[in-house]
Chain A
Amino acid sequence: MGKRLSFQIVPNFENVDMVRAALKGFCNESYRGAEAEARTWDLCLAATEAMNNAVEHSGAEQVEIEISADEAGVVFRIITQGERFDPTVGVLMPVLKDGEELQEGGFGLAIIKEMVDGLRYEYIEGKNVMTLDKIIIDKKGEGEHGI
């Protein structure tokens, strides 16, 4: 039997902090074992980056968040109304070359890709839907179920 939590938030950074806290609690109940803390942290970081992007770039007045979990893993879904924008295409981690100055931005989407086991984008009825999956690891350290 799965668990599910949903929010409708005004996109601002204080609400991002609130959702992250809720997601952390949700993950703590779902992940077990030695990798639990790291997997919780990975999904919280990816979700934070996804929400930050929505705050900064979506222009939406409301953002829908859905968090769900079952025996396979935890799924974080973020839904915004607006123009189609697929963040999963062509996102690479910026490479710092010798002598090059540090950049302040541009890491968010690349971090999301690194942190999750699955990343999907859909455009449904005028809404951008981004889904982040983080599977549950069994005692042997291998994924029990791929999502």
Chain B
Amino acid sequence: MEFNIGMDGDLVTMDLNGDLVASSAEEFKSQVAKLRDKNFYFILMDMSRVGFMDSSGLGACMAVHKMLSEKNGMVVLTRLSDSVVKVLRLTRADQKLKIAPTKQEGIKILLDVIIAERKK
């Protein structure tokens, strides 16, 4: 799996390219953990090039969600393929994970949360 990471202030965009499955799940979590350790807690995951995701990939998304929530951060998944949506719906994870249909909407959600966090 390939990861392309962009940063703009506190906001990180991570483009995933490849299958999010058991063989790539640990690397995915590790990439996010590195960002968290550098105090980046707001991440937009562009999953338009994730063609296949299994329950290990789903588990990795959940782990990332937990990892960032513990720091009052957030992960937003965007541009999901039909197959990824199917796994999220089947497991009802779509009710727990933040999902945005477009990158622009995902960025807006994260920027609103970042602004709210700064006001605290």
Contact = CB atoms under 8 A, between A and B. Distances in A.
Partners in one complex: yes
Interface of A: 13-14, 16-17, 20, 41, 44-45, 48-49, 52, 55, 93-96, 101-105, 107-108, 110-111, 114
A102 B21 contact: no
Contacts of B62: 102-104
Given A41-B83, A49-B54, A102-B93, 17 more contacts: A16-B21, A17-B21, A17-B23, A20-B21, A45-B52, A45-B83, A48-B54, A52-B56, A94-B91, A96-B95, A96-B96, A102-B65, A102-B66, A103-B62, A104-B63, A111-B54, A111-B91
A20 B92 CA distance: 25
Interface of B: 19, 21-23, 52, 54-56, 58-60, 62-63, 65-66, 83, 86-87, 90-93, 95-97
Given A16-B23, A49-B54, A111 B92 contact: no
Secondary structure at chain A's binding surface: helix, strand, loop or mixed? helix
Nearest to A100: B96
Contacts of B63: 104
Interface of B is mostly: helix
Contacts of B87: 45, 111
Nearest to B59: A104
A96 B66 CA distance: 15
B96 A16 contact: no
A49 to B, nearest CB: 6
A21 to B, nearest CB: 10
A41 B84 CA distance: 11
Nearest to B86: A41
Given A102-B96, A107-B91, A114-B90, A48 B59 contact: no
Given A49-B54, A108-B55, A111-B87, A16 B22 contact: yes
Contacts of A13: 21-23
Contacts of B96: 96, 102
A45 to B, nearest CB: 6
A14 to B, nearest CB: 6
